[in-house]
Amino acid sequence: MTVNDSIEKIVLGQRRYFKTGATRDVNFRIEQLKKLRAALIAKEDEVIDALRKDLNKSEQEAFSTEIGIVYKEMSHIIKNIRKWAKPRRVRTALTHVGSRGKIHPEPYGTVLIIAPWNYPWQLAIAPLIGALAAGNTAIIKPSELTPAVSRVISSLIKETFPEQYVAVVEGGPETSTRLLEQQLDYIFFTGSIPVGKIVMEAAGKKLIPVTLELGGKSPCIVHEDTPLELTAKRIIFGKFTNAGQTCIAPDYLLVHHRIKEPLIQHLKEAIIEFYGDTPLHNLDYGKIVSEKHFNRLSDYLSNGSIRHGGKTDAGKLLIEPTLLDEITWDMPVMQEEIFGPILPILTYENLDEVITSVNERPKPLALYLFTKDSEVQQKILSSISFGGGCVNDTLMHLATPYLPFGGVGESGMGAYHGKHSFQTFSHMKSVLKQTNMFDFHFRYPGKEGLNLLRKLMKP
């Protein structure tokens, strides 16, 4: 059987299984999520080893950014799924006296989840949890750039679920293309903007709804009143976790000109504290995922001037945490998302300058603002559109199941995590149940009820 035949067989089998109605039962969904949780716990050591092989993630980073987030998401959804899945009654309009309106969450059907390489475990399993909680069947396409994690995901799913319910299809871009040609009911994609456009085009041909979790150049604005040592630590944490290969990492700094030099000093100190004087020899410092990405990032090191870091090891695909100064907006490093351990630094004199600079560019996936001034916070948050972000921190908005995570504009569409995952993978079906005890004649043709209609409906 060819790969194409196998993909068609999987999709057809899942569509048939979904039509049996087995996945609609909430007790079934909870049972399957608990089976998945048990399987995740059993495979935890394998996941940690695989993340080390593919990205050189330390055990601490693997657990905090990949495994722990998934456990938290799983527990939150299992705890709340019965409440979310219940039909929800809504208010009755005056024109509908005697009727009752309800919203019934229902699953879409067969869902395709295309996962990226930078957080290959979290960004495959977290959407899967939402898809199964909503009552769908699911196909996962892991990234071919992280083969060790892909193999663990594949073995875990095969050992836990029948293929007609959840399946994993491994392969390169041609496999993704073939999957996108299938008659699916929902597509959830995490990845780059260019590939996101391809996914959306393919979905549009079949009118398949999509969620696109993309990226962009996420600004980090540092105002003059912020505590510099703490601010520096939180910026370095957000930027250099996973060697900067994070879709919501601070892409560049916009620093008030009065505090640039002292902030750079604190940034250097934080880098040394976290990664040592020689990060290239730190066994827990992450590597770049491929030679192609390493070469792309290395080219940026010639932009501006290096204030810290800048050393590389091509054989090990390592680039030191690097601070770039004397950066201008027209330099190559400012033209696309960096997605690596390089942090350009620009300065500003007033907030209007910041707002104009950010708003002249595509809407970012994240925005970070460091200031104690509530008026500054309000001005920035109300003037700039972005997917999500933090005030006085970085990355942490992603780690709570109570906030929706997603982009806006070029940084994506749709959101997930917690209840928002359940809603993303559910169609909210509207149902009006009408009484037969009486009837209103004003809704039928004729002038008899026109005056009453005017009273009920006119503003």
**Catalytic residue set:** 213, 247
Q: Distance between CA 183 and CA 11 in Å, rounded?
A: 8
Question: Strand 405-406 and strand 388-391: pairing?
Answer: unpaired
Taking phi first (over 0 means left), then psi (-120 to 50 degrees means alpha), and beta for anything else, what does residue 109 get?
A: left
Residue with tokens 């908005």, as numbered in its chain = 397
Measuring CA to CA, how many Å separate 259 from each of 93, 226, 326? 57, 9, 15
Which residues sit opposite 308 in a β-bridge?
323
Neighbours of 86 (CB within 10 A): 13
Helical H runs in 147-220? 147-160, 173-180, 193-206
Q: Distance between CA 459 and CA 456 in Å, rounded?
A: 9
Q: Distance between CA 151 and CA 148 in Å, rounded?
A: 5
Taking 3-state DSSP, the helix, strand and coil percentages for the chain, each rounded to the nearest 5, stand at 50, 20, 35
CA angle 56, 57, 58 (to 5 degrees): 115
Specify the DSSP class assigned to residue 364.
P
Measuring CA to CA, how many Å separate 344 from each of 116, 230, 251, 409? 25, 19, 8, 24
Question: Strand 318-319 and strand 110-114: pairing?
Answer: unpaired
Specify the DSSP class assigned to residue 399.
G
By three-state DSSP, how is residue 346 classified?
strand
Helical H runs in 241-384? 260-275, 291-300, 351-359, 374-383
By three-state DSSP, how is residue 123 classified?
helix
Residue of 28, 241, 29, 202 lying closest to 129 (CA atoms): 29
Angle of helix 44-55 relative to helix 147-160, nearest 10 degrees, comes to: 160
DSSP state letters, 29-43 = HHHHHHHHHHHHHHT
- 382 Cβ neighbours under 8 A, 6+ residues apart: none
